[in-house]
């Protein structure tokens, strides 16, 4: 079995320590950091994302795979920077103001990182203006707003309005998700995209960044 396949398979099993060792071994054997990232780590995380979408694996499995992914990327980070490998795009993500639920938001973040995007995590209880300020200052192509409470649903609409007021609405895509919202709500507030789960959110963000 090739070492890149071994990395992918151990990542899918959530074997963080082994993934870390294998990534170092692959580097020592002369594989390029980009190849290890794309054909080992990201490939494995992509499979986890698809299985999650199809209810073949659940939140705990995704979290352990994401941990393994993070351990692997930590080893690669300095080499990738040296090799000048560019992130596929930049996204800021947060749970909206008034809402402290962050498990789903963290899953979306992990999937975005798993797709090679640079993610600025604003945490929870994030005011609409902070999303917009960050997008401007950090040059993000996408803003991702998560929330789980019906009482905080409308803050997503405030993010759209704040982006309009700041004059960046045509420069940034606004994505929404979280249990109480759906496509109809997304259309109503004038956001760009609603996705039901973390893996689909990552696919959509990549598509926006490529466009
Ligand atoms: Co709270 N909570 N909670 N809670 N909590 C819910 C959401 C609730 C449905 C429980 C219930 O009553 N049945 C209910 C909301 C009811 C409503 O609004 N109609 C509720 C409530 C009422 C509250 C409090 C108000 C309770 C209280 O204090 N009286 C309080 C609010 C605090 C606040 O936020 N201000 C509160 C607090 C908490 C805890 C702190 C205890 C804890 C949160 C811990 C944490 O997040 N760190 C908690 C939890 C764990 C839950 C439940 C049990 C689980 C939520 C969860 O993490 N699900 C939840 C009940 C339930 O859902 N069964 C509940 C797993 C997670 C992976 O799913 O976040 O939906 P989810 O993410 C999904 C998708 O939605 C999507 O991707 C993920 C999967 O792929 N997704 C996106 C998420 N964000 C996305 C963004 C995207 C795209 C997709 O694009 C940008």
Domain boundary among 47, 82, 117: 82
| Residues 73 and 153 reside in one and the same domain | no
- Ligand 1 site: residues with CB under 6 angstroms? 59, 98-105, 107-108, 144-146, 148-150, 175-179, 195, 197-198, 201
Q: Total structural domains in the chain?
A: 2
Nearest CA to ligand 1 atom 24: 149
Give the pLDDT of residue 34: 84
The whole-model pTM stands at 0.84
| Residues 160 and 204 reside in one and the same domain | yes
* Helical (H) or strand (E) element with 119: strand 118-121
Nearest CA to ligand 1 atom 86: 177
| Residues 68 and 118 reside in one and the same domain | no
Distance 54 CA to ligand 1 centre (A): 21
| Residues 98 and 189 reside in one and the same domain | yes
Counting from 1 in the atom list of ligand 1, the atom nearest the Cα of 175 is 91
| Residues 7 and 106 reside in one and the same domain | no
pLDDT tens for each residue of 27-86: 999 999 889 988 999 899 889 989 988 999 998 998 899 889 889 988 987 887 666 667
Distance 101 CA to ligand 1 centre (A): 5
76 Cβ contact partners less than 8 Å away, ≥ 6 residues apart = 23, 27, 33, 36, 37, 41
Percentage of residues of the chain with pLDDT beyond 90: 72
Give 127 or 73, the one with higher predicted confidence: 127
| Residues 28 and 102 reside in one and the same domain | no
Domain boundary among 82, 103, 135: 82
Domain span at residue 23? 3-82
| Residues 199 and 120 reside in one and the same domain | yes
Distance 197 CA to ligand 1 centre (A): 14
58: CATH:
1.10.1240.10
| Residues 42 and 121 reside in one and the same domain | no
- Residues 191-205, buried b or exposed e (16+ Cβ, 10 A)? bbbbbebbbbbbbbb
Nearest CA to ligand 1 atom 56: 103
Q: What are phi and psi of 141, to 5 degrees?
A: -85, -25
Task: State how far Cα 88 lies from the chain centre.
Answer: 11
| Residues 112 and 189 reside in one and the same domain | yes
Domain boundary among 82, 104, 133: 82
User: Tokens representing 199?
Assistant: 């893996």
Nearest CA to ligand 1 atom 38: 101
| Residues 98 and 181 reside in one and the same domain | yes
The yes-or-no verdict on residue 112 having pLDDT over 80 is yes
Nearest CA to ligand 1 atom 64: 148
| Residues 70 and 96 reside in one and the same domain | no
| Residues 52 and 12 reside in one and the same domain | yes
């Amino acid at each position: 079995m090739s070492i890149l396949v071994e990395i992918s398979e151990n990542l899918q099993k959530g074997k963080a320590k082994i993934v870390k060792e294998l990534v170092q071994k692959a580097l020592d054997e002369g594989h390029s950091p980009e190849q290890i990232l794309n054909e080992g780590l990201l490939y494995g995380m992509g499979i986890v994302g698809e299985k999650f979408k199809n209810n073949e694996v659940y939140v705990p499995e995704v979290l352990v795979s994401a941990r393994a992914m993070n351990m692997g990327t930590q080893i690669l980070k300095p080499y990738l920077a040296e090799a000048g490998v560019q992130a596929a795009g930049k996204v800021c993500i947060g749970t909206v103001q008034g809402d402290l639920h962050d498990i789903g938001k963290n899953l979306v973040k992990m999937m975005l990182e798993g797709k090679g995007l640079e993610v600025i995590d604003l945490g929870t209880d994030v005011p609409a203006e902070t999303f917009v300020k960050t997008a401007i200052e950090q040059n993000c192509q996408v803003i991702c707003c998560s929330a789980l409470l019906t009482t905080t649903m409308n803050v997503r609409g405030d993010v759209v309005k704040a982006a309009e007021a700041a004059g960046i609405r045509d420069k940034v895509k606004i994505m929404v998700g979280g249990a109480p919202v759906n496509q109809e709500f997304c259309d109503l507030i004038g956001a760009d995209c609603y996705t039901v789960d973390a893996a689909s959110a990552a696919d959509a963000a990549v598509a926006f960044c490529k466009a």
